[in-house]
Structure 1
């Protein structure tokens, strides 16, 4: 009986050794994904704006509530804002910070924020706001306010 066990052990030893080598090599080659691992950073986004009044008087301020909603999340992604006023005159600002200058790029610190537009004109006013991210995704918002005397 000991001889049979010894022969059986001698036959299985190379099989287990080969199996160990195969498992080790499979693990090494299948887990070598450092070059293949891709972290998605570029997520498209949508911009939602709460309704705003259609009319504004000279000197009045309108609050514009904006929310940026991304399809994914990449912590390092930053959002920026720039605007240009086509008709009339007014100022656009983030909370109580200084008013934005047209066509300058400003960092948006949060995905939900409020802008304040103050009319300094007695005619219809229109402007556009562009919101972009680090990856070139951009959304355009158009605003128009009719003058109220």
Structure 2
């Protein structure tokens, strides 16, 4: 190899400089934006519901216990609830708060809570509850109660 350098009269110092430049350029190319550390903050969730009665009488209130179960933990996740009644008439509320208005979005302050549904008709009743988070995840729950009058 020294014979090659002697033949072309190239000193070792320029070769070391060239080698250093090549090494630096390969190192810089390998560090791209695609290698940035990703922090996951979007965790899907499940919703668990305790059993509820199948029958409800006009004026009767049914307790619905709900728990949001996260698949991961991101401290800035916020949860919301909305509902729509498509059969019969009734009122859904969070603890002792005023009843929810259909299709309005309400904030949920905790991940474990109770809803109270009060029947306002003598026919079967059906409604959907959507629980969503501020990251676009959503779960739909359907409740159906038979009239017991």
Q: Quote the residue 1:20 is aligned against.
A: none
1:133 alignment counterpart: 133
Q: CA deviation at 1:37?
A: 2.7
Partner residue, 1:96:
96
Q: Could you tell me how far 1:50 is from its partner in structure 2? A: 0.4
For residues 76-133 of structure 1, the C-alpha deviation after alignment (integer angstroms, 9 at most, x for no partner) is: 0001100000010000000000000000000011000000000010000000000011
Q: Aligned residue for 1:120?
A: 120
Report the Cα offset of residue 38 of structure 1.
2.2
Counterpart of 1:37 in 2: which secondary structure? coil
Structure 2: where are the runs of 5+ without partners? 1-23
Task: State the TM-score, normalizing by the size of structure 1.
Answer: 0.76
Please give the alpha-carbon distance, in whole angstroms, between the structure 2 residues aligned to 1:89 and 1:36: 53
2:43: which partner in 1? 43
CA RMSD of aligned residues (A): 1.8
- Structure 1 residue runs of 5 or longer lacking an equivalent are 1-24
Q: Please give the TM-score of this superposition, normalised by the length of structure 2.
A: 0.76
